[in-house]
Amino acid sequence: MVTGTPTRHLVVLLLKPGVGPEEALRDPGVLTRFNGRQAVGYEAVMYLAAPVGGVPPWFSFVRDIVEGDIADQRGLRTSAILFVRVSDRWMAVSFGFGRFLLRQDSFEVDFGLRTTLNAVDPARLRSVELSAFEELVVRTRRQASRSTAPATFGIDTARDILKAVTGEPRNERFGRRITGSDALALSPPIRAEQVHDLLAEILETYNSTAYRESFEWIDHVRVVRDHELLAQLDGELEQAVGDAAGQDLGAEMPYLAAPETLPDDRISGYRYFGERADMDPHPDLSLEDYLAALGDAGAPDIAALRRNEVRAISADTNAPYRTWRVYDCLVFELTRDDGLFLLADGTWYLIDTGFAGDIQARVEAIPRCARRLAAATPGEVEVDYNARVALLDPELVLLDRFMVHIPGERAPIEVCDLISNANEFIHVKRKTQSATLSHLFSQGLVAAVSFRQERAVRDAVRERLRDLGSPIAASIPNDRVGFQEFEVVYAVITRNSALLPGSLPFFSKLNLVRTADELRRTHDFRVSVLPVEQL
Closest to 532 (Cα-Cα) out of 487, 488, 486, 500 = 500
413-414 and 32-35 beta bridge pairing: unpaired
Q: How many whole angstroms separate alpha carbon 371 and alpha carbon 357?
A: 28
pLDDT at 283: 82
503 phi, psi to nearest 5 deg = -90, 5
> CA-to-CA distance for 181 and 174, rounded, in angstroms?
16
- How far is it, in rounded angstroms, from Cα 29 to Cα 101? 11
Q: Where are the alpha helices (DSSP H) in 226-307?
A: 227-244, 287-293, 302-307
Cβ neighbours of residue 165 under 8 Å, at least 6 residues apart? 113, 116, 117, 120, 125, 127, 128, 129, 179, 180
Strand partners, 489: 426, 528
Please return the burial class of 68, using the count of CB atoms within 10 Å of its CB with bins 0-12, 13-18 and 19+. middle
pLDDT (tens digit, 9 = 90+) per residue, 120-165?
Answer: 988 888 888 876 655 444 455 666 666 665 666 677 766 677 888 9
Q: How far is the C-alpha of 77 from the C-alpha of 55, rounded, in Å? A: 8
Q: Is the pLDDT of residue 251 over 70?
A: no
pLDDT of 10 above 80: yes
pLDDT digits (tens, 9 = 90+) for 318-367: 888 888 999 988 888 888 888 889 888 788 989 888 888 899 999 999 99
Highest mean pLDDT among 69-83, 254-268, 387-401: 387-401
Query: Is residue 1 over pLDDT 50?
Result: no
Under DSSP, is residue 516 helix (H, G, I), strand (E, B) or coil? helix
- Residues 396-427 have pLDDT tens digits of 999 999 999 887 777 788 999 999 999 999 99
Mean pLDDT: which of 157-161, 227-231, 259-263, 507-511 is highest? 227-231
pLDDT confidence of residue 246: 44
Helix (H, G, I), strand (E, B) or coil at 336: strand
Q: Give the range with max mean pLDDT: 65-74, 267-276, 416-425, 512-521.
A: 416-425
Asked whether 314 and 323 are in contact (CB, 8 A), the reply is no
* 294-320: pLDDT as tens digits: 887 778 999 999 999 999 988 888 888
Q: Return the bridge partners of 332, or none.
A: 343
pLDDT at 71: 58
Query: What is the structure's pLDDT at 136?
Result: 42
Q: What is the 8-class DSSP label of residue 260? A: S
pLDDT class of 527 with cuts at 50, 70, 90 = very high
Half-sphere exposure of 407 (CA within 13 A, CB side): 8
Q: Which of 16-30, 256-270, 290-304 has the highest mean pLDDT?
A: 16-30
Measured between alpha carbons, how far is 197 from 188 in angstroms, rounded to an integer?
12
Q: Which amino acid is at 500?
A: L
| pLDDT of residue 263 exceeding 80 | no
Banded pLDDT at 457 (limits 50, 70, 90): very high
Distances from the Cα of 174 to the Cα of 75, 120, 148, 184, angstroms = 31, 10, 19, 11
**What's the whole-number average pLDDT of the chain?**
86
How confident is the model over 236-249, as a mean pLDDT? 73
Per-residue H/E/C for 234-246: HHHHHHHHHHHCC
User: Would you state the pLDDT for residue 322?
Assistant: 86
Length of the chain, in residues: 535
What letters, b where the CB count within 10 A reaches 16 and e where it falls short, cover 449-486? bbbbebeebbebbbebbeeeebebbebbeeeebeeeeb
For the ranges 78-87, 96-105, 425-434, 464-473, which has the lowest average pLDDT? Answer: 425-434
Q: Look up residue 34 and give its amino acid.
A: F
pLDDT value at residue 433: 52
Handedness of CA 147, 151, 153, 155 (dihedral sign): positive
- pLDDT value for 316: 84
Do 142 and 154 form a contact (C-beta atoms < 8 A)? yes
pLDDT of 169 reads 94
pLDDT over threshold 90, residue 112: yes
DSSP 438-478: HHHHHHHHHHHHHHHH-HHHHHHHHHHHHHTT-GGGGGS-S
- Mean pLDDT in residue range 10-36: 94
Residue 5, pLDDT score: 85
d(CA 445, CA 527): 10
pLDDT tens digits, one per residue of 157-192: 666 778 889 999 999 999 999 999 999 999 999 999
Confidence of residue 21 (pLDDT cuts 50, 70, 90): very high
Higher model confidence: residue 21 or residue 216?
21
More confident residue, 12 or 225: 12
Q: Quick one: pLDDT at residue 157?
A: 66
Residues 6+ apart with CB under 8 A from 375: 532, 533, 534, 535
pLDDT at 189: 94
Q: Is the pLDDT of residue 290 over 70?
A: yes
- Quick one: pLDDT at residue 497? 79
* Separation of alpha carbons 435 and 259, rounded Å: 8
Q: What is the mean pLDDT of residues 423-444?
A: 81
Upper half-sphere CA count for residue 424 (Cβ side, 13 Å): 24
Look up the pTM and report it.
Answer: 0.68
